[in-house]
Structure 1
Amino acid sequence: MSSDMTAARLPTMPEVISVMVGFIAIIFLCINVFELPIQLALFISWFLVMALGLRVKMSYEDMQKGLIDGIYNGMEAVLVLTTVGALIGTWIAGGIVPSIIYYGLAVMNPQIFLFAAFVICALTSLSTGTSFGTAGTAGVAMMGIGHSFGIPLPLVAGAVISGAYVGDKMSPLSDTTVMTASLCKVNLVDHIRSMLWVSAPAIGIASVLFLVVGFFYISDSADTSRAQVAMQALGDQFVVSVWLLLPAVIVIALLTRRYPAIPVIAFGALLGSLCAWMVQGIDPIEAVRIAYVGNSLESDVEFLDTLLNRGGIESMLGVIALILFALGLGGLLERIGVLKTISNSFLRWANNPGRLTISTMLGGLFGNVFGGAAYVSLITASTITEKNYDDQGVDRRVLSRNTEAGGTITTPMVPWTDGGVFMASTLGVATLSYLPFMWYHMLVIAITIFYGFANIAIWRVPSKEKEEVQDSFEGRPATSQ
């Protein structure tokens, strides 16, 4: 807490619990009883947290500063979301997404589709470092192909999101990977190697699950007539060409070379508008307008209309409002000292590796539920529990691995986080619908907890107390015998 808040005290744990219960009650009542938008529920929750701030003697100015700081720190996600909205609209209108879907339907076997979607999205996210970019490009195409094969969309979304977060968690190009290593004061390569202990078996098991479900759920003699109808409709509505895959290749290549995501995705949207004008024959002004309003398609195939009538910055405005309210809430909680209070309580409880793991992951989940963003969850997971790792002599590589498992991995599981909102709006499937099929995420969580209690890959270093005693001893002047 900053020096200008010396008059404020830390909230007590009963006060923190009361706010948490109140927050859950507000969410439940607004959504299920009064049928109000979740944005309003988060906005109302601001006043609940502010009431706690007043109780601990915090000024309005300090609370406003917390709100602004929270929103500021998450603005990158908002800008990425805005540009991805433009990209989706123009890539559909320009024939880029339809071409990917068309050729995917032509070459892909329905039985291995789920496995292929998982692997393709995993490789894309590993090479680009962005789950948002992966879902907005390869993910949207996979949804179209899966729908054409008659596979339930929540299952397809589970495969797409599972693959997208392989790279978000593991890629050295990922902002969350770099941020976690920095927060935990761990070398980036060491952090990735530590995560491999968990991610490698999770990837292997998830791959087998998607393969098994594909072979048992989808018959080898599956009716592909729907796919043929979709291909015919795509050919009638769009100019389909292998050259239209080039913008996707360019965008992925630029992201792979570590160019900033926002201008790269915006450039991809520009390429989409150019394709809509020069290839699809759309009026140039309308081709640009689509970046804001999204694509509009009328065909004789209803599910294709539903899938391809989307995108545009306008479609993301409600999502952006949701993220801003969630970010502000996270900033308020941090400013008032709620995170510090929780940290103090964990220090007394987490006295072994298993409990350390649980406390770190709960800290990440708390950041996602109350902060609404991956970056908040990484801060809460690492700062709440880092002292316990040092005191117990547990290497910080374990802290960084557990931070990603509790923070990054749980982000798309919460409906109002930036990741949860983005995946639901981009893929067209509600968070609670795709949640049961996020097998990679569930495996990472389960394996991480198992390692903690089984003491597997829990590396040790001299504890903080031992180091202090040793330093004190070594610093003494030599005495004569």
Structure 2
Amino acid sequence: MESEKRLPTLGEMLFVLIGFTVIMFMFIVKFEISIQLALLTTWALIMLVGLKIGYNYKEMQDGLLRGIYDGLESILILISVGALIGTWIAGGVVPSIIYYGLTVINPAIFLFAAFLICTITSVATGTSFGSAGTAGIAMMGIGASFGFPVPLVAGAVISGCYVGDKLSPLSDTTVMTASLSKVDLIDHIKSMLTASTPAWIITALLFLGVGFFYRGSGDMSSATETMAALKEYFNIGWYMVVPAAVVILLLALKKPAIPVILFGALLGSLWAFLFQGVSALNAVNILYAGNTIQSGVPFIDNLLNRGGIVFMLDVIVLIIFALGVGGLMERIGVLKAVGNYLLRWANNSGNLTLTTILSAFFGNFFGGAAYVSVITGSKITADSYDRLHIDRRVLSRNTEAGGTVTTPMVPWSDGGVFMAMTLGVSTLSYLPFLWFNFLALIICLIYGYRNMFIWYTDPDAEPVKRTRSGKKLSVS
């Protein structure tokens, strides 16, 4: 006879959540064991609770596989971007961008320029991964040549990359969030602009100010050495950036991301063969094995010895394990139980905003992927918006704030791992400099608790305040 299934109790839910956190801390911080093994260990922890509340192994395995399946698109994008990074380095695309960047960008405005360039690239392409793997790597090279701390440069790069991931109509998470929230895509973007615009302006001013502070330490001799090394090992020219222009144009025309990125990777191989003296066989093999260079300049070797599908294998394994955690938690009802507890106090726009952000962040922290976060953020709290007569445009905005922009903040999420691997900076090192990401969160919370830019489907449900004479005034 099949045992009766039930939702986890508060104690069982806390056992899973606290156990997950302890395992991650002990493996990563205390014993410095791989994150992959830590996530695999949490599978066993979650399954023990699942068995206790009535699920058999086959049912939990189905949930685990479903979680992995839901994130397969991000894995395919990782594979494609890995191939693209390798061939764009070998083909001279990234080295040329770094070279010309060093000639035209003033160190005093570099951080602002890096943030702006990555913003434009991500908005035009809709992908934070692709933007970081191309423009982002170039900015890291330029910043290191100017003597900026690499975690600070990474913060500017990632902040810019996630502007587009959050706002671009070409972004998969933007489209997915609008769809899950049942909001028109353009209305969703307009709603996000109310919070993202001030966040972007403040972030730009911060990077501009910090850039002027560091301008005296900009090491131009290092920049000159870098340019000389790039000129020696690569054929530098304006035509080297043609593959980048083609990919950005195709993505801007709303062509499918995966085939476009793979096409860009093939163009990189062709450029390596035609312009960099790489043999045809090696040019193709770079798609899988990545680029190798021994320039004698340590940071160039560290920056440009990367890419290829093999470069992403550790990341892919990690993301599979993280997606499995999310699938298991969904299957045995941990996500639903957490949602039930959170919603008990979501009785106004402020608490509901915080609840949505926490629900979405929960998807990143325990599910390991932006896709999971936008699902948890939108699905857990959607009914509460309807109950309070708050327009779902607010739901979609808060979901992106708690989900998309917090992805690179979690060391084992797909975004956190990709950014750390691609830019060569650990998550905890660049975390304090994700100024756009933090500001987007803070502004959404301010809007929620101050009832600003909160739209209501029923005017009678909108909170009001009164003047001393007793006349009603709208809060928003």
Aligned equivalents of 1:222, 1:178: Cα separation in 2? 41
Partner of 2:469: none
1:65-464 aligned within 5 A:
65-219=62-216, 222-462=218-458
What per-residue deviation string (whole Å, max 9, x for no partner) do you get for residues 96-141 of structure 1? 1111111111111011111011111111111111111111111111
Partner of 2:16: 19
Residue type matched to 2:270 in 1?
L
Report how far residue 144 of structure 1 moved: 0.9
What per-residue deviation string (whole Å, max 9, x for no partner) do you get for residues 301-349 of structure 1? 1211111111111111111000000001101111111111112112211
| SS of the residue 2:416 aligns to | helix
How many pairs were matched up? 461
8 Å Cα contact 1:294-1:313 kept in structure 2: yes
Aligned equivalents of 1:379, 1:85: Cα separation in 2? 26
Aligned equivalents of 1:139, 1:122: Cα separation in 2? 10
8 Å Cα contact 2:247-2:264 kept in structure 1: yes
Of the structure 1 ranges 300-309 and 68-77, higher mean CA displacement relative to structure 2 is found in: 300-309
What per-residue deviation string (whole Å, max 9, x for no partner) do you get for residues 211-238 of structure 1? 000011222x843111111111111111
Aligned equivalents of 1:56, 1:217: Cα separation in 2? 57
| SS of the residue 1:300 aligns to | coil
Report how far residue 463 of structure 1 moved: 9.3
Aligned equivalents of 1:165, 1:356: Cα separation in 2? 24
Aligned equivalents of 1:184, 1:222: Cα separation in 2? 46
Report how far residue 461 of structure 1 moved: 1.7
> TM-score under structure 2 normalisation?
0.95
8 Å Cα contact 2:182-2:392 kept in structure 1: yes
8 Å Cα contact 1:390-1:463 kept in structure 2: no
**Residue 49 of structure 2, aligned match among 48, 52, 55:** 52
| SS of the residue 2:294 aligns to | coil
Aligned equivalents of 1:31, 1:342: Cα separation in 2? 25
8 Å Cα contact 1:392-1:463 kept in structure 2: no
Aligned equivalents of 1:388, 1:336: Cα separation in 2? 23
Residue type matched to 2:300 in 1?
L
Report how far residue 25 of structure 1 moved: 0.9
Report how far residue 392 of structure 1 moved: 1.2
Q: Which runs of 5+ in 1 are unaligned?
A: 467-481
Aligned equivalents of 1:464, 1:345: Cα separation in 2? 28
What per-residue deviation string (whole Å, max 9, x for no partner) do you get for residues 368-403 of structure 1? 011000010011111111111111111111111100
Q: Which runs of 5+ in 2 are unaligned?
A: 463-476
Partner of 1:476: none
What per-residue deviation string (whole Å, max 9, x for no partner) do you get for residues 379-434 of structure 1? 11111111111111111111111000001011110011111111111111111111
Does the C-alpha gap of structure 1 residues 464 and 417 become closer, same or farther in structure 2, counting only changes over 3 Å? farther
Of the structure 1 ranges 353-362 and 295-304, higher mean CA displacement relative to structure 2 is found in: 295-304
Aligned equivalents of 1:92, 1:199: Cα separation in 2? 32
Aligned equivalents of 1:6, 1:88: Cα separation in 2? 51
Report how far residue 6 of structure 1 moved: 9.3
Aligned equivalents of 2:178, 2:218: Cα separation in 1? 46
8 Å Cα contact 1:330-1:370 kept in structure 2: yes
What per-residue deviation string (whole Å, max 9, x for no partner) do you get for residues 125-179 of structure 1? 1111111111111111111111111111111111111111111111111111111
8 Å Cα contact 2:147-2:218 kept in structure 1: no
Residue type matched to 2:9 in 1?
T
| SS of the residue 2:293 aligns to | coil
Report how far residue 262 of structure 1 moved: 1.0
8 Å Cα contact 2:343-2:355 kept in structure 1: no
8 Å Cα contact 2:148-2:218 kept in structure 1: no
| SS of the residue 2:344 aligns to | helix
Residue type matched to 1:243 in 2?
Y
Aligned equivalents of 1:125, 1:205: Cα separation in 2? 19
Identity %: 62
Aligned equivalents of 1:265, 1:464: Cα separation in 2? 50
RMSD over aligned CA atoms reads 1.6
Aligned equivalents of 1:234, 1:12: Cα separation in 2? 60
**Residue 9 of structure 1, aligned match among 1, 6, 10:** 6
What per-residue deviation string (whole Å, max 9, x for no partner) do you get for residues 20-79 of structure 1? 010111111112333211100000100101111111101211111111111011011111
Aligned equivalents of 1:121, 1:265: Cα separation in 2? 17
Residue type matched to 1:206 in 2?
T
Aligned equivalents of 1:151, 1:33: Cα separation in 2? 30
Residue type matched to 1:186 in 2?
V
Partner of 1:478: none
Report how far residue 90 of structure 1 moved: 1.0
